[in-house]
Amino acid sequence: MTYSREIESDNLDKPVFGIRPVIEAINAGKEIDRVFIQNGLRAELFQELMVLLKQDNIPYRFVPIVKLNKITRKNHQGVIAYVSPIEFANIEHVIPGLFEKGIVPLVLILDKISDVRNFGAILRTAESTGVNAVVFPTQGAALLNSGTVKSSAGAIYNISLCRSDNLKDTIDFLKNSGLRIAAATEKGAELYHQSDLSGPLALIMGSEGEGVSGEYLKRSDMKLMIPMMGKTASLNVSVAAGVLLYEVVKQRHF
């Protein structure tokens, strides 16, 4: 099932700037990836914008004006928004739909993967291995732009992407829906190929700097480790995701 809507790639990195244009984009139903707002902004229509952002759960961040000026030298009025290349799905709608169709769910949760190339590469592998949905936090995830589209080789248009305002609640929802939660961690107690990954599953991949957050590890049913035979401490997160997802494919189909 695809919830995507393609946007010309040439326009992905062109932001919408100015308070009223951003408000109009939201009201027109554009899928907004995120909004940057100048620190201390108190301009006319500011409150109207904030109401819309909170009402539609659109990610926003207050930043120094220097950051906005680096994005565009045009009159941004302290507000710049990026339009998403896809329409986001709701994980609470996706899971019941999968069970109704007799599909064993495979969900990938990305905990603060902020590098665009890693994010895109993971989406490419996820789509290739039959992942049904990719979940990531509303705040702290990579920007969805032309770099994401390119590194995903277009896979971003063929997989359900779900933003979550609270990953703890999302994980609890998945557990209550019958999915086992597996977290990838170098401190794992189980070798990944010795764990049963064949049933309904949600796999959590953490950022390269911090790994999977402790609060999510506590909610995990399995803590999976990929053995490292050399002196390097860990794999790139996109490579690690590929190793684990193809183990799922092996267990489910071969």
List alpha helices for 115-196, DSSP H. Answer: 116-128, 146-151, 167-176
Q: How far apart are the first and last CA of the chain?
A: 24
- Where residue 14 falls among pLDDT bands split at 50, 70, 90? confident
- Mean pLDDT of all residues in the chain? 90
In this predicted model, what pLDDT tens digit does every residue of 20-55 receive, in sequence order?
A: 999 999 999 999 999 999 999 987 899 999 999 999
| Structural domains in the chain plus CATH codes | 9-83 (3.30.1330.30), 91-253 (3.40.1280.10)
- Look-up: residue for tokens 């902004």? 41
* Confidence label for 13 from pLDDT (cuts 50, 70 and 90): low
pLDDT given for residue 98 in this prediction: 97
pLDDT tens column, 101-150: 999 999 999 998 999 999 999 999 999 999 999 999 988 888 888 888 99
pLDDT digits (tens, 9 = 90+) for 164-181: 999 999 999 999 999 999
CA 235 to CA 93: how far, in whole Å? 33
Mention every residue, 6+ apart, whose C-beta is less than 8 A from residue 102.
none
CB contact at 8 A, 247 and 226: no
Would you call 253 exposed, middle or buried from its count of C-beta atoms within 10 A (0-12, 13-18, 19+)? Answer: exposed
Of 211 and 43, the structure prediction assigns the larger pLDDT to 211
